[in-house]
Structure 1
């Protein structure tokens, strides 16, 4: 058997439209893991926002969070654990000019902590971990975060991106969420999901051609391009579908990833 690394984006991919796991997905990932393949979550979500899903899938593999900024083994120490961080001076500059720039809320996250400045009505929908989180201020921010998320006013999004790039473009990358919500993700320069996926492949000595990656959105692009087989969801964006090697016949609400893998590995139902 040739061991594969199976890289799973979560929202819009492994999770259904209600951001939950369907039972066929759990069963398929268990069978593949039991067969010796490495099944890993590679997500833009925080550890707090993905731990329950990891446990629900009953995985034993390392996980990549914050679009590649954190690689770790949940629930235990792992010597190869890594992290990339953002200089807190960048975060504090955004806090200082938040209202003037048109940023509704800033969310700064580490492996075990979340801090926020401002408020946005849709934030809780996408980032449940912010509930009752400490306030993000120059006094409370004592360490560099792994990830920064900005919920911005849509008509000011381009100006905010330009402001960040003009001042910090050599240090950070700015990602734009698709869809109707004006959300920006800021990561350390050159960090993306493919970086974390390649790290895992190297750790487990899995060749690039033996990586299968699934995704649906802009932040999955590098991951799908790097993988030996990059698979876009049928519900994915046009850009992701154009860049992928293949497209699932079924969407995330129809167990698209599980059904694709069942066919690929010829697993009996």
Structure 2
């Protein structure tokens, strides 16, 4: 069988509802990697927030963080490393207008650092790496961040998106989380998971038809559309399930990705025989 590039979203996909890896998932990824396939994490999470998962899977491939804004090889230097960043002027303006806009907390992240301004009660649940992080100010922000996360007042969500688009729409894109929590992600213009996935494929000379990607949420859409086989989780949003080439039988709590890959590769071997 030709070498495959397997792209894994984390939350709601590879991780269970407790944001942990099930043993079956670990075993499957190790088996496929040992068979010569490339297994890569492609996530909206920061490096700090995904490094332990990478290590638990015993991966050796590059990882894509911040929805495509950072591509790197954990624990090693890699000539192919790249970064896209958000201009500090955007951060400064948001800090200045934070209270007026109804933004409870701003999280600015780079490969190795996290800075925060304000406070939101749910922030630690979704972004554990912010615990004890330094305060985000124009003075402490010494470099352009890879990503901004805004936890906003629910009734102000649309107004915040419109404000950013009006003043900085030529510099950044704003992603809106699904579900009940009003969380926005700000990244460099035109950057999404598919951009990172395409970069990986080029680095390893993998054709699009040999890419399998898994996801469950809005920020996975471009990646699933780019992959030769884009697979939505059974627990994914309706929009993602509709756009995908296929849908897993089992959800993320039931090792949906592992079941799907085991069936896919076992069937491929049987056909080859």
Aligned residue for 2:44? Answer: 44
Aligned residue for 2:166? Answer: 166
Aligned residue for 2:112? Answer: 112
Which consecutive unaligned segments of at least 5 residues does structure 1 have?
none
Aligned residue for 2:101? Answer: 101
Aligned residue for 2:246? Answer: 246
Aligned residue for 2:78? Answer: 78
Alpha-carbon deviations, 1:128-169, whole Å to 9, x = none?
010010100011111000000000000000000000000000
CA offset at residue 242 of structure 1?
0.6
Distance across 2 between alignment mates of 1:138 and 1:193: 28
Distance across 2 between alignment mates of 1:53 and 1:209: 27
Distance across 2 between alignment mates of 1:20 and 1:185: 23
Alpha-carbon deviations, 1:151-190, whole Å to 9, x = none?
0000000000000000000110000000110000000000
SS in 1 for 2:266: coil
Alpha-carbon deviations, 1:56-104, whole Å to 9, x = none?
0000000000000000000010011000001001001000100000000
1:260 is aligned to 2:260 = yes
Which consecutive unaligned segments of at least 5 residues does structure 2 have?
none
After the TM superposition, list the runs of 4 or more consecutive aligned residues in structure 1 that deviate by more than 6 angstroms. none
Alpha-carbon deviations, 1:195-253, whole Å to 9, x = none?
00000000000000000000000000000000000000000000000100000000000
Distance across 2 between alignment mates of 1:189 and 1:138: 22
CA offset at residue 4 of structure 1?
0.2
Distance across 2 between alignment mates of 1:202 and 1:258: 25
Deviates more, 1:134-143 or 1:4-13: 134-143
Distance across 1 between alignment mates of 2:140 and 2:4: 43
Report 1:54-65 matches (<5 A): 54-65=54-65
Task: Count residues with an aligned counterpart.
Answer: 268
What TM-score comes out, normalization by structure 2 length? 0.97
Distance across 2 between alignment mates of 1:225 and 1:99: 37
Alpha-carbon deviations, 1:7-56, whole Å to 9, x = none?
00000000001000000000000000000000000000000000000000
Distance across 1 between alignment mates of 2:153 and 2:235: 26
Distance across 1 between alignment mates of 2:217 and 2:206: 25
Aligned residue for 1:89? Answer: 89
SS in 2 for 1:97: helix
What TM-score comes out, normalization by structure 1 length? 0.99
Q: What's the C-alpha RMSD, in Å, of the aligned pairs?
A: 0.8
Aligned residue for 2:32? Answer: 32
